[in-house]
Every structure is written in structure tokens, then in C-alpha cells.
Structure 1
Amino acid sequence: MKQSKLLVLVGVFLLSLGSFSKAQALLNTSEIVLQIGEDGNPPRNSEGSFIQLKDGRILFAYSKFEGGSGDHASGVIAGRYSEDGGNTWTGKDEVIISNEGGMNVMSVSFLRLIDGSIALFYARKNSLDDCIPYMRFSTDEAKTWSDPFPVITDKKGYFVLNNDRVIQLPGGRLLAPVSLHKTAGVDFRMRGSIFCYYSDDNGKTWHSGMEMPNKNRVVVQEPGVVLLENGKILMWLRTDRGVQYLSKSEDQGLTWEEVYPSDIASPRAPASLKRIPETGDLMLIWNNNKSLVKETAAYRTPLTAAISKDEGKSWTHLKVLEDDPDGFFCYTAISFIGSEVLLAYMAAEREKLKEKIPLVLRKLSLDEFYD
């Protein structure tokens, strides 16, 4: 860590808008429980998700790129297990999903379904014209998986479903927020067309909701969704406007209001947001880069956590997870284990992204986020 640069960045990065409290101290960095890919072999390790198994173990699966560090390099879905609540992890990867795509398989979302089975979602990427989220089931606690089937069948193109993103509503509806960026014969667009695909039969069939309105043609990407206490669905999106953008649905993801800016300062990078089971509050993890330095405005650092007690209207208890000014931190997976929190995220050096992208797993007390 470069101390002089850090002192400068602390002064310019910490967000101080009216709906946020002043950022607090750096969280305990000693609670790293696993690092994958520190030696650059494999060259990229990213976009994971946790699932707690009924025998007490935890399975963490992630995108393991064996053919390079880029989004389109060859890769598989690999997994590690913990038998002690996330304190220690198995030393070798188990291949969960082999490379069944023309390019790769990547970007994992686990979900414990209401019927007790486990759903596994991932992207099968064949080409820049063909990237579709697929789903598998397990009824034996991740020992075996069903045959894969596509979530999207009514459209063809390059869809992005971020890791750790699929949710199930209390009535059983599954929601998979996706961003469409390319179809055959059309150039790749940074501005995604945003949809929520939904299933009302536990994932057997899927249907498309309406596209999210975006009359100002904001570059929106990588949507995520969370259920609010009033029954509405909140969607957040990465943009190039210096903040996260938001939209809401009042009909369980069928239609969306016009997308609008939040005051969550952010580069064009994904945020992660989940409800904390023990407290009922929302936890947000993102790159809080409210910066006065234009040259650093796009950097994916620092990595910050915040808590909302009012359904996302305001954020308090800001905590810095990672503050290396040369770092690149993103695609966080969040899992709550009682009064503890497991996090997994890319933790690379910005100047070495073509060489290696390691993955870090951390375990922290929930109390640390509230102190």
C-alpha cells in the first residue's frame, strides 16, 4: 500500500452527501480466509456465489478462467467447500460446471428455493451473439445437478446476468435481472436493454417482463434486484454517470418505472445489495469513489460497505473494506451466516489485470458493519 497516495485518496474518496453518514475506519483486513489465484495460475478468478448446505458445509463456486484474464477466455465454474462456517476452505477446486460454451461458462448465482432444492444459475457464452443464462437444479445438496436449460428462450443475443443476483419472492416467483447488449448483425452496445425474466413454477418455465424505460438513453448495465418491505422491487444498475441508477417495480418485476439517478457515487462498476436476515436492514457493497480527482473517477476502489435502515433512502455506517488506490475490487458475493458475513470479490491490481485477477474471501462479524 502506498501510504502517501492513500492519505490523499482518503480525503477525496469518502462520500459525504446528505443521505450518507461519514465513512468510518478500514475494516479488519486480517479476516481474509481464502485467496485464489494470487500466483496468476489460473489468470482470472471472479464472479462467485455461496450456498449453505444442510449438513453444515458451505459451497463457494466461482468463474475460473483458465485461458486468460478477459471476459471471453475459456473457463469453468469451480468450487471450494468449508466445514467450519467459512474459517477454512478446501485446498483444491472441484469443477462444478465444465466448459460447455463456445467461449466459457461464468458468473454464478446460487439460490436455495422454497421447495428446499438448490438452483444454480450461470452464463453459457458461445459467442458475442450468443450468451444466455442457464439454470440447473440439485435435490441432493449439490452432489449432483440436473441437465441445464436456458432461462431465456424468447430472444437471442448477448445477455449479462451478474453473479449472486437471482432472487425468489415470498410467493415463489423467481426473478433474474438481465442486460441485453448485442443481437446478431448488430454492433455490441455498452447501453444494455434491461429486463427481468421471471418464473412462477420454480424455474421450470421462464417469461420476459417488460423492458425497463430509459428515455434518456443512459448507459445502464448489470442490474440487480431486492425485495423491499412495501412489496416493491428495487433495481440498481451500473452506469457511466458517476452514480448508481435505480428503478422500481410495483408488480413483481413485470414492469418498471423510468430509470433515475441515485446519490450512490460510483464508477461504471457493479454494486451488490442484500437484506441482512438478522436485522432486516439492507447492506450495500460498492466502489464509493466520490472523488474530486477526475483522473481517478473510473477506478474500482475503494471497496466500501454501508447499511440502510430505511429501505435504501439513506445509508449509514460506511466502512472501507479495501482502500488500495491501485486496486481493482468488484463483483462481490454476500452470504450471511447467523451473526457473521462472508464476502467474496475480485481483488486485483489495476495495472496487472491482463496478468492476474485474484479472488479474496473474507469473513467478518456483522457487528463490525454497525460499529
Structure 2
Amino acid sequence: MRNLKKKGGLLIGLLLITLGSYAQILSGKYTVLDIRSGENNPRNSEGDFITLKDGRIMFVYSKYTGSSGSDFAPADLAARYSSDGGKTWTQTDKILVRNEAKMNIMSVSLLRLGKDKIALFYARKNAVDDCIPIMRISTDEGQTWGEPKVCIDDQKGYFVVNNSRVRQLKTGRILIPVSMHKTPDTKWNNRGTLRCYYSDDKGITWKSGSAVPNPDSVITQEPGVTELKDGSILMNIRANGGYQYYSYSKDQGVTWTAIVPSKIPSPISPASMARIPSTGDLLLVWNNNGAKGEGYFKGKRTPLTLAISKDEGLSWKYLKNIEDDPEGMFCYTAIHFVKDYVLLGYGMGAGLAQSRVVRIRLNEIYK
């Protein structure tokens, strides 16, 4: 009898695994890495990808230490690696940069600068009025990193830069989109002042662009930038108006048009955007749940949805949910293309304690 129960339990387990695998096949999404929290590791926060010269993919994220997963708790920068296009990943962490701040280091962006250099950007958080982006350079494919360089030195304050947000334009200019919420002399303001800091010499020196005009009372936060085909820059903005907001620059991120609502319904949550190399279309990843959302989803950072734009962000189609747990939280997505696939890395769970990587065949997104 006991053996029958064991066999029955095994069959049920196998059935659940089979059904789960079949559901992934139908959605086109495969979860390839879950970096879960544990003892003395209360949170593994969102990060970014880069492909190394030897073909491996490196995913760098913030590994929290101690007992708290707060945005202000201690964290190092850690890496995992894939040698097969993102199908499988190493299961142990390699610490790249130890916490050098009074609070933490987080919100990683990775850029390849020429053939032999990789730039690592992250936020160094010392206080609620002292958080600035830092850049380090590696000349040995991420094995070691040079000295930290401050990217904002014209003023002090709390500058938010999301993970996977730093971009290099076709001209070589590097843009860091920031939202400034407090200075040592001002009170905290949820309505951030948005702008880009830019460098034309591969990060040696940085200049400040103009603030993005916000004539309304809309709360604006966590900007991202995308270079459009005509050379202009699109800024997508987390906002409280029920939609992602847009602003445009015609001078490579120095000045910007006044913000306007897009056609992307969204809660107060960030959206990520990238151009698909093989098609030239834009891929959007966000919480498809704006002010008019209904039921359980209203106002929450779920579902996590993909969409395609063939007209440079004016409209979106082929909507596809990749996470739809009504009790879940999914956001801060990094996008990385590998041949016929895309890798998405994002934070999830209560307090964003877990970091997940999924692998999706591109042609599934267009169905």
C-alpha cells in the first residue's frame, strides 16, 4: 500500500512537471534561472546582461547581505554566467564589486565600449540625499574592474538610474537617464526632475542635459531612452497618469520636448524598451495595467507583458503576458538578444526578493 502511494505521488509529480513544461511551450517562455533569497541573502535584485568575447553571457545583479531587503540595505554586485546562449546558468555567485557605499550599490547597466572594454554602471547609495551613478571599466572581459568614476559631479543629490538603462548612440555618445528627487538642501519630491547626463569621450567626462519639461502635475520617475531610426531619442517615463509618458530629443539627449502620455497603459511602474536586431522593431516589457485596470490587477505590478511596435513606439501590438500571477510583482526588466532568442531578467516576488531570467524565441512573440 505504501509503495502504491509512493507511485501515485510520483505520477502526480511527473504530471505537474509535464503540465508546467507544456504551459511553457504554449507561451514560448522558458524560465532558465531563478536566483532566490536565503539566509543572510534576503534579496537578489534586478540586473543587466552582456555577451563576452568567448560567447558566454554574463548577468550582473545586486546580491543583498544581512537581514534586510530594503532599497537602502547592504548589497554587493554579483554575476552568473551562461555558456549555451542562456539555456543554463552557473549556480554559484561570483562577486564582482563589494559594497563600497554607506548603504548599497545596485541598478546595474552594462555597455561594451569598443572591442576591448566593458563599462559597468551602478548606483552608489550613501544616503537619502546622496545616490549617484558610478562607472567602472574592465579590460579583461569582466574578470577585474578599474577604479570607480563618478558620472555626476556638477551637483549632489539622490539620482535614480534604473538597471539596464545606460545607452550608447550610433554617434558614440553615452546617455544616462536620471530622475533627481532630493538634494542636501531640498525636501524629497516624488515628482523627479528628469534629464540625461552624457559623455562623448567614452565616459572620461560627463555633461548635464536640460531638464525634461513637465507642465502638468504628473509624477515622473525612472526614465529610459531609446534611439529611434531618424536619430531622435525617445524617453519613456514611469508616471502616475495611468500611462507611460513620452518625451523626445532631437539633439541626442541635451534638450527635450514637454512630456505627453503614450498609448501604453501602466501603473506607477517602469517599462523597458529595446530594438530587436533581426527585425528593427521595438520590444516593450511592462505591466499592462493602467489607471483603468480592473479587478485584482488594478494598480499592481502585474501582469508582465510583451508588445511589439513597428512604428517607433506610436502603437503596440502582439501583446503577450509572460507573468500573470494576480498576487505577483514583476518589474525592472533587462532585455538581451541572443540570435533568435531574447533573454529577459527581472525582479519578482514580495519586496522583489528574487531575480528571474527567462528565454523566449523571438518568433513566438510575433504570434
TM-score normalized by structure 2?
0.90
Q: After the TM superposition, which of the residue ranges 233-242 and 137-146 deviates more from structure 2?
A: 137-146
**Which structure 2 residues correspond to residues 318-337 of structure 1 after superposition, within 5 A?**
318-337=319-338
- 2:355 is matched with which residue: 355, 359, 363? 359
Question: CA separation in 2, counterparts of 1:227 and 1:115?
Answer: 21
2:27 alignment partner, SS class? coil
Maintained 8 Å contact 2:121/2:135: yes
Larger Rg: 2
2:366 maps to what in 1?
370
Question: CA separation in 2, counterparts of 1:132 and 1:27?
Answer: 39
Q: Structure 1 unaligned runs (5+)?
A: 1-24
Alignment pair present for 1:145 and 2:145: yes
1:63 maps to what in 2?
62
Maintained 8 Å contact 1:114/1:172: no
2:43 maps to what in 1?
44
Alignment pair present for 1:260 and 2:256: no
Structure 1 residues 368, 41: closer, same or farther in 2, change over 3 A? farther
Maintained 8 Å contact 2:266/2:289: yes
1:299 maps to what in 2?
300
Question: CA separation in 2, counterparts of 1:111 and 1:85?
Answer: 18
Maintained 8 Å contact 2:28/2:361: no
Structure 1 residues 40, 325: closer, same or farther in 2, change over 3 A? farther
**Which structure 2 residues correspond to residues 3-22 of structure 1 after superposition, within 5 A?**
none
2:15 maps to what in 1?
none
Alignment pair present for 1:287 and 2:283: no
| TM superposition shift of 1:292 | 4.2
Maintained 8 Å contact 1:40/1:358: no
| TM superposition shift of 1:293 | 2.6
Question: CA separation in 2, counterparts of 1:342 and 1:237?
Answer: 23
Maintained 8 Å contact 1:63/1:107: yes
Question: CA separation in 2, counterparts of 1:116 and 1:310?
Answer: 34
Question: CA separation in 1, counterparts of 2:126 and 2:163?
Answer: 18
2:14 maps to what in 1?
none
Question: CA separation in 1, counterparts of 2:293 and 2:219?
Answer: 22
Q: Deviations over 1:247-267 (max 9, x none)?
A: 000000000000111120001
Amino acid at match of 2:268: R
2:6 maps to what in 1?
none
Structure 1 residues 85, 297: closer, same or farther in 2, change over 3 A? same
Alignment pair present for 1:112 and 2:112: yes
Structure 1 residues 26, 216: closer, same or farther in 2, change over 3 A? farther
Task: Give aligned pairs, total.
Answer: 341
Question: CA separation in 2, counterparts of 1:248 and 1:89?
Answer: 38
Maintained 8 Å contact 1:40/1:357: no
Alignment pair present for 1:274 and 2:270: no
Question: CA separation in 2, counterparts of 1:114 and 1:258?
Answer: 34
1:73 alignment partner, SS class? coil
1:34 maps to what in 2?
33
Question: CA separation in 2, counterparts of 1:139 and 1:310?
Answer: 38
Amino acid at match of 1:111: L
Alignment pair present for 1:193 and 2:189: no
Question: CA separation in 2, counterparts of 1:120 and 1:96?
Answer: 10
1:211 alignment partner, SS class? coil
Alignment pair present for 1:315 and 2:316: yes
1:327 alignment partner, SS class? coil
Question: CA separation in 2, counterparts of 1:70 and 1:223?
Answer: 22
2:102 maps to what in 1?
102
| TM superposition shift of 1:38 | 5.2
Amino acid at match of 1:321: I
Superposition RMSD on alpha carbons, in Å? 1.6
**Which structure 2 residues correspond to residues 160-175 of structure 1 after superposition, within 5 A?**
160-175=160-175
Question: CA separation in 2, counterparts of 1:208 and 1:26?
Answer: 47
Structure 1 residues 225, 65: closer, same or farther in 2, change over 3 A? same
1:6 maps to what in 2?
none
Amino acid at match of 1:358: Q
| TM superposition shift of 1:296 | 4.1
Q: Structure 2 unaligned runs (5+)?
A: 1-24
Amino acid at match of 1:189: N
Maintained 8 Å contact 2:293/2:299: no
Question: CA separation in 1, counterparts of 2:215 and 2:116?
Answer: 41
TM-score normalized by structure 1?
0.89
1:367 alignment partner, SS class? helix
Amino acid at match of 1:231: G
Q: Once superposed, which parts of structure 1, at least 4 consecutive aligned residues long, lie more than 4 Å away?
A: 38-41
Q: Deviations over 1:87-142 (max 9, x none)?
A: 11111111111100000000000011235411100000000111000001111111
Maintained 8 Å contact 1:57/1:81: yes
